[in-house]
């Protein structure tokens, strides 16, 4: 089973009889002083609070909260029903397979 909710939802929509799939994701972190110290020591949190994904100057992530709901439908069905198509999901992948020691020790094969 895929560990990323959008990947799992897309797989549920494409080959099956399900016409629509809803993918939800939320992240709410209420950091304690202890957790912040642990994450800083591990080098997870950016020293300047800025996230620079895939950049040579990347030095950790900026912490924050967020939520999203994505409704997935087959493109042909959406066009037939005159749905407002905002994006087309052509590929989905996750770099962490959910089986390794943690997100900071990802699986080389999964990436």
Identify the residue with better confidence: 100 or 65. 65
pLDDT > 90 fraction of the chain, expressed in percent and rounded: 5
User: Burial, 17: exposed, middle or buried (Cβ in 10 Å; 0-12, 13-18, 19+)?
Assistant: exposed
Q: CA-CA distance, 79 to 53, in Å (whole number)?
A: 34
Q: CA-CA distance, 84 to 42, in Å (whole number)?
A: 44
Q: For residue 9, what pLDDT band results from cuts at 50, 70 and 90?
A: low
Q: Which of 16-25, 56-65, 72-81 has the lowest mean pLDDT?
A: 16-25
Q: CA-CA distance, 55 to 82, in Å (whole number)?
A: 40
Question: pLDDT tens for residues 29-65?
Answer: 667 888 888 888 888 888 887 888 788 888 888 777 7
What is this structure's pTM?
0.44
């Amino acid at each position: 089973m895929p560990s990323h909710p959008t990947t799992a939802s897309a797989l549920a929509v494409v080959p099956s009889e399900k016409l629509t799939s809803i993918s939800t994701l939320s992240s709410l972190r209420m950091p304690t002083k202890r957790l912040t110290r642990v994450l800083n020591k591990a080098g997870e949190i950016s020293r300047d609070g800025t996230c620079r994904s895939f950049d040579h100057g990347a030095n950790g992530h900026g912490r924050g909260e967020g939520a999203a709901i994505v409704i997935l439908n087959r493109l042909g069905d959406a066009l037939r029903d005159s749905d407002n198509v905002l994006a087309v999901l052509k590929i989905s992948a996750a770099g962490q397979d959910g089986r390794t020691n943690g997100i900071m020790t990802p699986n080389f094969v999964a990436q």
